[in-house]
Amino acid sequence: MKTFSTSLLLFLQSLYLSAQGSAHVLHVSGQVEYYSQHGAKPVLLSPGMELDMKGKVRCKASSSAKLLSNGKTILVSGSKMRDLQDLAGAKGGESNSGFTNRFLNFVEESVKEGDSDEKLKEHHRQYMNKASGGVKGYASQAYAIRPLLISTGKMPAAPVTFQWRGAQGEGPYTFSIAEPGGSALLQVPVNDTMLTLDLSQVALLPDEEYEWSVTRGSAAKSPAATIMLAPSVVDATKNNTTHQANYKTASPDEQQLMLAYAYEEAGCYQNAYQIYSALHSAQPDNLLLRRVYAAFLARMDMLGEAVKVK
Amino acid sequence: MWRKLVYPHSLIVTCLVFLLIGVLNFVRINAHFLNPFKETIRDYEVTDIVYSKLRDHRIILDNNVVLVNTGKPDRDTIRMVVDRLIDAGAKVVALDVLLEGRKNAHTDSLLRAALTRIEKVVLATELDAYSDEDGKFKMQVGCDTFFGNYVYTGFINFISKDSNSTIRYFSPREMTTDGECLSLPVQAAKLYDPQATERLFERDKKLEEIYYTGNGDQFIQYESKDILSPAIDLKKQIQDKIVLVGFLGTYAWDKPMLDRHYTPLNERYTGRNTPDMYGMVIHANIIQMILNGTYVTELSGFAQFLLTFLFCYLNIHLFYEIFRRVSTPFHFVTRFLQLGEIIILFFIVAWMFRSFRVKLDVAYWIASLALAFDVIKFYDNVIRKRISHLGKIPYQFTPPPRKPQAIKKQEEKPEPEKAAKQEPQLPQDSKK
């Protein structure tokens, strides 16, 4: 009996472990990082790789990947660190009923579709949001305040300037930092459309995402902008760049430009901004630096500032 | 035994139903006003619902075929990709890219050198200029002889009435003026596994129905930049596999329309939707089908006829029996039965296809079911009354002589009411 129960336990455990399973990379677009465990060195995904489901993935910029786990595809996108098991779990919620159930569901849906026209006429407003021909603009009217791109992404543990486009109205802005979907960790009333905070002094966890937003009065608000305190990424980017042979042979200005570009590529916009800004301040008449700085500002959706610099 | 099974009037009505179906089939209506409807449903088969709605969406990764998306490549890129694939140990490299004409002597020479590095490379061609006289294609286009003369070629034509038709079938081989030519997937499969391809040829079918296993997610998909990246170790995934190189959009939001076709896997199985599958993925599905031997089986014409006849006969007999037992709600019960049977038929068709890849054509079954009720009425109320000989035919043939005990029992004088119940009666019109 004891042997039987032990075998059963082992069998169930093996079943559980096999259910945890692995995921195969079907396709990768851009650069997607895989962390086999917390603190592990990231590995870039390539098609055909087999991943342990205990790991995490994160996409760089607009990269994405398609994985296959337990017979289902998982699409990974976004710069947020994602747990593979969570992603697979979200997919697992979808129904995977047998053939007979699928057949009965199909017949039931077919019957329901029979009166869909009548339903459409009766409740047409419910369907209006499913078919809209509008082309989306750059900013939603729902948000009167717009955070600037340079105040998002990976941040250094140093003074950082948060900037936003203001809204008409009276009274101060309220700047907040919060956990995604959580309550505010920090709130500061601000008179201007920018605020400089020393992030090394704020109790933010490294490599975790936070959201900042701004409100003014009861009506004007901004969408949540995502930041991550990532001094390790900043340092790694700097190290990678400064160790390149081209960097070593370049002039000091070129070195700074190379570093700024590498920061931008890595999503460390604030660091890139600081370098471009410093270069421009030091040599305001240098046409090349002006143009490069203006191009950066334009990429950061700061066209007004870019035109002035140019 | 046969006397118990054969009901003469049911048999006659069955023949009448078949006659009517034949006439309706012969006199096809081609009214212009029906065109929109016709256009919507003409390219539809019941099994499309199985693919579209009832199939198991669980994806099983294929271990034989790998896809490489080259986009719209230049020949230098193709050459580098082919080189890398050969270095990684690909068993067969099939290019779903037309190398039409000669571009640059240097580039073309290098590409040919790369293509001829291994024996098992297949290039795509297109068959053209079919001649009805000898049943041969006069031209193979799309692949310059500078390349095509040194490697295997395979045609990439799909069988489709027009660009909006669903791709269901493929032709394994065709005759050209230069001899027999295999299709690209068949040629690739033949180079990979000759025995599996021999099984395809043994079936000796001019057309094979494609058994689709998925929309491409069952295959590992590389971008050409992945192949060219020295940081990626390709050996593990590429070695000893068939690599299809061609045009492929990967994500739903960024799928260009080039070389995209309708397949039965389309989410919307009737009407028009956007094409759902790239040509290269269709080729990959064909290769997978050949290697796994998962062919679709269709019943022969005779078997179809026999089954349809049997189905029709049993239904007509059932309707007669219902009428004999419950004549008042006959209409209601019969119509309800027809509806129920159609759903059950659909289930059987779907289940047979899904479980055994057997394709049943139940169009005539449904037609016979729909006509049965009215033909019975017409036969009973008009034909039987006008043709006196039919009135003399019993509802059921007289059973053979029974055992002596049974005869003795029959000899006993039965009560008049009981006797009336025992004697089979022909159905009467319910209005009577």
**Tens digits of per-residue pLDDT, B25-64?**
766 554 444 444 444 455 667 778 788 778 787 889 999 9
H/E stretch holding B283: helix B279-292
Domain boundary among B238, B260, B295: B295
Tell me B233's DSSP state: -
pLDDT tier, A196 (very low <50, low <70, confident <90, very high otherwise)? very high
| Interchain proximity B220–A48, CB inside 8 Å | yes
Neighbours of A237 (CB within 10 A): 22
Q: Residue B362: inside a domain, yes or no?
A: yes
pLDDT tier, A139 (very low <50, low <70, confident <90, very high otherwise)? very low
CB B316 within 8 Å of CB B10:
yes
Supply the pLDDT for residue A128. 57
- Tell me the per-residue pLDDT of A241-264, one tens digit each, with 9 for 90 and over: 888 888 888 899 889 999 998 898
Q: Residue B35: inside a domain, yes or no?
A: no
Which residues in chain B are closer than 8 Å to A44, comparing Cβ atoms? 231
ipTM of the complex: 0.74
Is A27 touching B (CB cutoff 8 A)? yes
Nearest chain A residue (CA) to B54:
A102
Side chain identity, residue B403: K
Between A215 and B257, the more confident residue is A215
What is the number of structural domains in chain B?
2
Which residues in chain B are closer than 8 Å to A24, comparing Cβ atoms? 61, 220
CB A81 within 8 Å of CB A59:
no
Residues B282 and B303 in one domain: no
* Percent of chain B's residues with pLDDT above 70: 83
Supply the pLDDT for residue B419. 41
Give the domain extent around B360.
Answer: 2-30+299-392
Distance CA B137, CA B153 (A): 15
Rounded (10°) angle between helices B194-203 and B184-192: 130
Distance, in angstroms, between A223 CA and closest chain B CA? 24
Long-range contacts of A103-109 (CB under 8 A, 24+ apart): A103/B54, A103/B347, A103/B350, A103/B351, A106/B49, A106/B53, A106/B54, A107/B343
Q: Which fold has domain A146-229?
A: Immunoglobulin-like (2.60.40)
CB B248 within 8 Å of CB B221:
yes
Is B217 touching A (CB cutoff 8 A)? yes
Which residues in chain B are closer than 8 Å to A68, comparing Cβ atoms? 59, 61, 217
Distance, in angstroms, between A290 CA and closest chain B CA? 34
Nearest chain A residue (CA) to B353:
A99
H/E stretch holding B353: helix B330-356
The three-state secondary structure class of B57 is: coil
Q: Residue B403: inside a domain, yes or no?
A: no
Is B252 touching A (CB cutoff 8 A)? no
For A71, the closest of B60, B220, B229 (CB atoms) is B60
Which residues in chain A are closer than 8 Å to B221, comparing Cβ atoms? 26-27, 47, 66
- Tell me the per-residue pLDDT of B299-343, one tens digit each, with 9 for 90 and over: 888 998 899 999 999 998 888 888 777 777 778 888 888 889 888
Tell me B252's DSSP state: G
- Tell me the per-residue pLDDT of B107-157, one tens digit each, with 9 for 90 and over: 999 999 999 999 999 999 998 888 888 888 888 888 889 998 999 999 999
Which residues in chain B are closer than 8 Å to A27, comparing Cβ atoms? 220-223, 250
Residue B418 has pLDDT above 50, yes or no: no
Distance, in angstroms, between A45 CA and closest chain B CA? 9
Residues B182 and B303 in one domain: no
Pairing of strands A220-221, A184-190: unpaired
- Tell me the per-residue pLDDT of B204-232, one tens digit each, with 9 for 90 and over: 998 899 999 988 899 999 998 889 988 88
Between A205 and A124, the more confident residue is A205
Closest C-alpha among B184, B61, B166 to residue A47? B61
Residues B98 and B187 in one domain: yes
What does the mean pLDDT of chain A come to? 80
* Percent of chain B's residues with pLDDT above 90: 33
Q: Residue B116: inside a domain, yes or no?
A: yes
Pairing of strands A225-229, A153-155: parallel
Supply the pLDDT for residue B231. 84
Residues B121 and B227 in one domain: yes
Which residues in chain B are closer than 8 Å to A70, comparing Cβ atoms? 58
The partner residues of B139 in beta bridges, in order of sequence, read B128
| Interchain proximity B57–A72, CB inside 8 Å | yes
Q: Residue B135: inside a domain, yes or no?
A: yes
**String of DSSP letters for A164-183:** EE--SSSS-EEEEEE-TTS-
Distance CA B65, CA B153 (A): 18
Residues B136 and B235 in one domain: yes
Tell me A115's DSSP state: T
